[in-house]
Chains A and B, each alone.
Chain A
Amino acid sequence: MNYAYYPGCSLQESAAEYDISTRAVLEGLGVGVREIPDWTCCGASAVEAVDRELSLALPARNLALSEKHYGDTPVLVPCSACYLNLLKVQEKVGESRQTAEEVNTLLDPQGLIYSGRNRVVHLLEVFAGPMLGEISAKVVNPLTGLKVAPYYGCQILRPYHTFDDPERPSTMAAVLEAAGAEVWDWDMGNKCCGASLIMTHKKAAEQAVARIWEAAMGADVIATVCPMCQMNLESCRPSRKGGVEGPAVVYLPQLLGLAMGLPREVVQLEKNMVMTDTVRMLSDRPRSHSGPKSDPDGVQTL
């Protein structure tokens, strides 16, 4: 299985561990990815606040580039904000000939044409869909006893109802179970982290994140699939109370990589702003080649 790959800006800088662990896990699963040459910013959630046309032209440019190089190969996106922007232009161009013309007029000076024949897919969609069986088969170090809170965030779920239920998402739970983890049952997985309010109205973002942290206390890990969610959760981490260490915030492919037996250096655990020994020790466990069964740490699981 092959995809065109759009990493997006954050994965080049603050979320480098997301990019590196994604590529490593996909390689381990036998999925080929080819980065879109010369890609540029998708506009994030910022450009639409300034210029609507540009907020469509920027993602369309990247999809048009992918079409030029890779035809109708689906475009794989790990960042949720990038995913929504690319998906949005795919949807809008698909439903309105006028929008298609407007977007292509803007792309004309670039010598690019966007037709919409390459489907946009999110990394979680690939893990939970075509790759789920392969993940189960490749798990050599099941995350037995590890309580993981699946944090979906917003933009892979809303406003477009694509690969998961926006009100009761479950795809990440399925992936975590395939990796042998115990899924933390909570209802904050699809609540907003505050996104760019962290820069513009810091207090409001901190309140949003505080509610998420409160519901996650008791879990070992919060699993994320978005660099913005990851950054806001990590930077608004509550201070340690009474020596209680809260969950580590870890990108889903970092966890999958550990379950698949990749060394922690490969999944870049030390790049995360905060890492816990519970997660570090996962890569030191003895390996088994069958599915999740006995817990090597002797921790009772439910």
Chain B
Amino acid sequence: MSNITVRKQNGDFQADLHRIQEMVSACMQCGTCSASCPNVAAMDITPRKMWRMVLMGMTEELFKSRSFWLCSACYTCTLRCPRGLPLTEAVYALKRLAAGNGDSTQRRHGLFYETFVRNIARDGRIQEGRLVADYFLAAKNPVQALQYAPMGMKMLGKGKLRMPSFKKNGTLDGLFVPAPGEKEES
């Protein structure tokens, strides 16, 4: 894994929360988002309720929820919101807030996305096989990894996964911040 620190937004929790509250401040609790969400059945809090909790500043309760991590960015709520609120963007902002300020469960929810960013920083382009291997290593969860073994074998059989390449495609200088005390990899 490369010596890249994930760029922090500005690290000010209250300001970040306030920004999300502003995005959804016109919410009238109609529930179109909940009714449109393809993953609502797997959520512990519906999107409509989640926005109310955001507006009430109930971050402690929100950070016990996994609802916003179940957003698959399909943008149906954003398309249909009668108030025209940027709901999918607000979910992304909640993910960032929770990964940066929540407990270890919240950080674990964000691990795949963080691994994704580190792989871009290291390789320029994502190599799917390497990304998945790195994610399972970082997650330290062999049982989870095993669930993907049949799919992985099938993809290997079809030549859908390449041998990892250590060639860096494209220079991303300046877009990533080297970790403290580390030199940026070349």
A residues at B contact (CB < 8 Å) = 9-10, 12-14, 16, 38-41, 43-55, 57-58, 61, 106, 108-110, 154-155, 158-159, 161, 166-167, 191-197, 199-205, 207-208, 235, 270-273
B95 CB contacts on chain A under 8 angstroms: 49
Partner of B6, one of A50, A110, A166, A200: A50
CA distance A190 to B117 in the complex (A): 28
B93 CB contacts on chain A under 8 angstroms: 52
Query: What residue of chain B has the Cβ atom nearest to residue A38's Cβ?
Result: B170
CA distance A22 to B83 in the complex (A): 39
A-contact 0/1 string along B101-127, CB 8 Å cutoff: 000000001101110110010001111
- Let me know if B135 is at the binding interface, CB within 8 A: yes
* A13–B78 touching, CB < 8 Å: no
User: How close is B70's CB to chain A, nearest CB, in angstroms?
Assistant: 6
User: How close is A111's CB to chain B, nearest CB, in angstroms?
Assistant: 10
- On whether A271 and B159 interact (CB within 8 A), knowing A41-B125, A58-B120, the answer reads yes
User: How close is B101's CB to chain A, nearest CB, in angstroms?
Assistant: 14
* A50–B114 touching, CB < 8 Å: yes
* A110–B113 touching, CB < 8 Å: no
* A53–B88 touching, CB < 8 Å: no
* B70–A158 touching, CB < 8 Å: no
CA distance A203 to B173 in the complex (A): 38
Partner of B113, one of A49, A106, A158, A167: A49
Of B24-32, B49-57, B147-155, the one contacting chain A is B147-155
CA distance A8 to B91 in the complex (A): 25
* A166–B79 touching, CB < 8 Å: yes
B39 CB contacts on chain A under 8 angstroms: 192, 194, 197, 201, 204, 207-208
* A204–B70 touching, CB < 8 Å: yes
CA distance A54 to B120 in the complex (A): 11
CA distance A83 to B184 in the complex (A): 30
Query: What residue of chain B has the Cβ atom nearest to residue A161's Cβ?
Result: B79
- Let me know if B186 is at the binding interface, CB within 8 A: no
* B169–A197 touching, CB < 8 Å: no
Contacts of B125-164 to chain A: CB distance below 8 A: 125-129, 132, 135, 147, 151, 154-155, 158-162
Partner of B160, one of A9, A16, A161, A194: A16
User: How close is B56's CB to chain A, nearest CB, in angstroms?
Assistant: 23
User: How close is A137's CB to chain B, nearest CB, in angstroms?
Assistant: 34
A204 CB contacts on chain B under 8 angstroms: 39, 41-42, 70, 72
Partner of B161, one of A13, A48, A192, A199: A13
Partner of A202, one of B72, B132, B147: B147
Besides A38-B170, A194-B38, A201-B70, 14 more A-B contacts (Cβ < 8 Å) are: A9-B126, A13-B161, A38-B169, A40-B170, A47-B116, A50-B113, A52-B9, A52-B96, A159-B79, A159-B86, A167-B79, A199-B112, A199-B135, A207-B41
User: How close is A151's CB to chain B, nearest CB, in angstroms?
Assistant: 13
CA distance A61 to B169 in the complex (A): 13
Query: What residue of chain B has the Cβ atom nearest to residue A45's Cβ?
Result: B73
* A158–B74 touching, CB < 8 Å: yes
* A41–B9 touching, CB < 8 Å: no
* A235–B151 touching, CB < 8 Å: yes
B161 CB contacts on chain A under 8 angstroms: 13-14
* B117–A159 touching, CB < 8 Å: no
* B99–A50 touching, CB < 8 Å: yes
